[in-house]
Amino acid sequence: MLKNKEKKIGLLTYLKRYKFGIFLYILSYILASVCSIFMTIILASTIEGVTLGHFSQAITNMLIILALAFGKRLFWHLTNVIYQKYATKIMSELNLDLAKQAFKLNSKTYADHDTGTFVQRIVTDPERVVMHLADIIAVLFDIITALIIVIYITTLNVYVGLAIVALLAVCLVIELRRKVSRRKYNWQVRKASDTINSLTTEIVRSEKDIKSLGLEQKLSQISKTAYENYKKISYKAEIIDTSFWSSRNLLIELGTIAILIMGVYFIDLGLLTLAAFMILYSNNGSLYQFVWGIAMIVNAWADIRVCTDRMFGLFDNREFVCEKFGNTKVENVTGKIEFRNVSFTFREYESVPLNKKSKKKAKPERKLVSENQIFKKLSFKIKPNTTVAFVGKSGSGKSTILNLMSKMYEVDSGKILIDDVNINDFDKQSLRKAISLVNQFPYIFDMTIKDNLLLAKQDATNQELWDAIEHASLKDFVFSLPKGIDTKVGESGIKLSGGQKQRLAIARAFLRNSPIIIFDESTSSLDNFAQEEVKKSIDGLKGKSTVVIVAHRLSTIRNVDQIFFLENGKIEDIGTFDELFKNNAKFKNMFYAENLN
């Protein structure tokens, strides 16, 4: 597996691991091709023998051909068995390593790319690469077979041979031009395909919202635009590709007919025997097979280049930025948090061709298109085992603080300290163990309720599970289910309501019992009763963990120890709920506006 992202990686890394299996695969293909070559040569000899009346020798030759045909099919079967064995291993290792790399990427990277980008690169591209490699090997031996036959034909007459060489040379020039064009458009087609995959994923996951909001027509129009864009790019790519194909095929057909006419002319001059002409005629398809094989390799190699660039592009830290951790192992975190002169800017990028004038490079690079500074030298402190809240209007930076605090985002400058240790110095395990984050829209896995909880603590006892469920006000719901805690909740928790998803995520956080627990609008989907119950549970954490809350409803943070009031990326005021309500007009107006609504 890939253990060092600094190490140069590529497709060859994986092929080397199974070089013996690949050797067997190639060997079996060579043997199958050798059988095919000898079948053709012996058949040509048989044709010549029949024209000369050597019927006994012709029958013997046909029996040899029969044995070769059996051997060819046997080796091809062996080739397929070897392919299935090793192709599966190579694909699974590629899938796994790419998935592991995806785990290392930071949250900002995911925000900058759509879902299809990752699905295609992790799942689809490895399969295409392995299949194309198999195609190249297969076609390569077909080309060698065709080439040997072409060489054999050229021995029949030197002029015919020169004509064949000239025809093949022109066709190869066309194929080289086509290769450049195909790789250029493949990048654009795959990017449009990523967009379609992401859109389809969103439509499937948001099916209820689409129906309830009557968005079918709107989403249909968006889908139509995306598919039309894909169709437009694909159509242009295929039309250009087809033009090259048609030109080459027309040249092959006309050239082959011209060579046969030349053969008839040479028979008339006595420079070519009738048997030789019959051999030339019966194998004229070898010219097409040779050029077609070259074309297939061009297609496959162009697609392999695009797929490998996309796959291993996930290891390019410029576009797909990874999380960075230190080596400091921190035990027994108390939960003291400090932001010291922290600056952070949201930056948006788009992919553009690396060099539009270059025919050799079509891999995109990133271009900065916009940036929005959220914080500039933001500083504050949170005491350990206290409960604090961040409030402010939408866009004031509340959730960004939580993402920086949990190291989902990286600061541009300044420091974030936990227990006086820079979070950049924490090793991954220490930091993740120290912080639990409950998002506004938590992801629930396609597992049972119990298994979803055990993700937070694998060795949790039944009592601990039920305590977490009760603290999250989920007990009555679980009891109402026929299978109770062993009920499967479906992909993304589709069988649960929004509030039930949030309560399950909150139960996971309670079960994990980290020294720092962050709630990002985590009660926004709860009804008043469930919200009050969860609020009591959060209040029960006071003095046990450092609890950081971003709340949409100010009524849910009445009992916190301290509230940070944010505006335009700055902390405008700090105090208890009563202090802010008494002294801060903006905070008071927010509370009144909430309760009037």
Give the distance, in angstroms, between the CA of residue 143 and the centroid of all CA atoms in the same chain.
34
Alpha helices in 18-113 (DSSP H): 19-52, 55-104, 107-112
Q: Sorting pLDDT into bands at 50, 70 and 90, what band is 379?
A: very high
Q: Sorting pLDDT into bands at 50, 70 and 90, what band is 207?
A: low
Which of 118-127, 171-180, 312-321, 559-568 bottoms out in mean pLDDT, i.e. has the lowest? 171-180
- Best CATH choice for the domain 380-596 from the list 3.40.50.2300, 3.30.565.10, 3.40.50.410, 3.40.50.300: 3.40.50.300
Q: Sorting pLDDT into bands at 50, 70 and 90, what band is 4?
A: very low
What pLDDT score was predicted for residue 382? 93
pLDDT of 569 higher than 80: yes
What percent of the chain shows pLDDT beyond 90?
10
pLDDT of 384 higher than 60: yes
What pLDDT score was predicted for residue 359? 45
pLDDT in tens, 147-191: 777 777 777 777 887 887 788 788 778 777 777 777 677 777 777
Give the distance, in angstroms, between the CA of residue 106 and the centroid of all CA atoms in the same chain.
15
The C-alpha angle 406, 411, 417, rounded to 5 degrees, equals 55
Pick 9 or 458 by higher pLDDT: 458
Query: How is residue 151 written in tokens?
Result: 């060489």
Pick 222 or 422 by higher pLDDT: 422
CA–CA dist 172, 293 (Å, integer): 11
What percent of the chain shows pLDDT beyond 70?
88
Mean pLDDT of 40-57: 77
Q: Which residues does 42 contact at the CB level (< 8 Å), separation at least 6?
A: 61, 64, 65, 68
Mean pLDDT of 227-256: 78
Sheet containing strand 364-382, strands side by side: 364-382, 337-353, 413-418, 421-422
What pLDDT score was predicted for residue 302? 80
**DSSP code of residue 314:** G
Mean pLDDT of 223-244: 77
Nearest to 530 by CA among 498, 554, 560: 498
CB atoms near residue 283 (< 10 Å) = 18
Burial bucket for residue 432 (CB in 10 Å: 0-12, 13-18, 19+): middle
CA–CA dist 401, 408 (Å, integer): 10
Q: Sorting pLDDT into bands at 50, 70 and 90, what band is 361?
A: very low
Asked whether the beta carbons of 423 and 594 are under 8 A apart, the reply is no
Pick 130 or 230 by higher pLDDT: 130
Backbone angles phi, psi at 349, to 5 degrees: -120, 160
Mean pLDDT of 560-571: 90
CA–CA dist 555, 332 (Å, integer): 33
- Best CATH choice for the domain 11-315 from the list 1.20.1560.10, 3.30.565.10, 3.10.20.30, 3.40.390.10: 1.20.1560.10
What residue ranges do the domains of the chain occupy? 11-315, 380-596
What pLDDT score was predicted for residue 341? 93
What pLDDT score was predicted for residue 364? 54
Query: How is residue 54 written in tokens?
Result: 């050597």
Q: Sorting pLDDT into bands at 50, 70 and 90, what band is 356?
A: very low
What pLDDT score was predicted for residue 513? 83
pLDDT in tens, 449-476: 898 888 888 888 999 999 888 888 888 8
CA–CA dist 120, 113 (Å, integer): 12
Nearest to 132 by CA among 307, 300, 312, 295: 300
CA–CA dist 544, 541 (Å, integer): 5
Mean pLDDT of 62-78: 88
What's the chain's average pLDDT?
80
| DSSP H or E segment with residue 417 | strand 413-418
pLDDT of 342 higher than 60: yes
Mean pLDDT of 385-398: 87
pLDDT in tens, 107-128: 778 777 777 778 888 888 888 8
Query: How is residue 457 written in tokens?
Result: 């603590």
pLDDT of 3 higher than 70: no
pLDDT in tens, 481-525: 888 899 888 877 778 877 788 888 888 888 888 899 998 876 666
